[in-house]
Amino acid sequence: MTPLYGDPERVRNIASAGLEVLLAQPRVDPSQVAAIGYCFGGTLVLELARSGADLKAVIALHPVLTTTRPEDSANIVGKVLVCVGADDPFIDVEQRMAFETEMRAAGVDWRMNLYGGAKHSFTYAGAEQWAVPGLEYHQPTDQRSWRAMLGLLDEVFS
């Protein structure tokens, strides 16, 4: 994944291809689409939003927040929710602050939920099996971030 983080165009193309497959389904209302991603998937949906995709909501859980093209956030049309752990070694304070600056500059309707005691991969109950420092399941944050996601989806689709 590391090479992809520095190539937002490639990431956006991958995400756009997935969105096209979804939108081609007969039961999908293209005016009522949200994108949800965990970890790299969260980074992917943020880049999809930065590309200007017509998404009502974008929800990213423990994603890397940086992009090489922050100015493209002006293309975001939906509401953005990012959920990150305060103790996540892969998403430090500087990255969170840069994301905040990016969202403010672009005038995006965004929110960032920061969860104390949570590290990276807080939603994955098997995170510890990889024995990678900084990856750890955190049940309270898993549940709280799920409720935050449902709240935003209710807000945009009710």
Pairing of strands 110-115, 34-38: unpaired
Whole-number Å distance between alpha carbons of 57 and 61: 13
Residue 17's identity, in one-letter code, is: A
| CATH fold of the domain at 2-157 | Rossmann fold (3.40.50)
Residue 2: what pLDDT?
75
> pLDDT of 24-81, one tens digit each?
999 999 999 999 999 999 999 999 999 999 999 999 999 999 999 999 999 999 999 9
CA distances from 136 to 1, 80, 117 (A): 20, 24, 10
- Written as one letter, the residue type at 136 is E
**CA gap 46, 64 in Å, rounded:** 9
- Inter-helix orientation angle 8-23/40-50, to 10°: 90
Q: Express each pLDDT in 70-114 by its tens digit.
A: 999 999 999 999 999 999 999 999 999 999 999 999 999 999 999
Confidence of residue 137 (pLDDT cuts 50, 70, 90): very high
Q: Which two tokens stand for residue 16?
A: 């756009």
Give the start-to-end residue ranges of the domains of the chain. Answer: 2-157
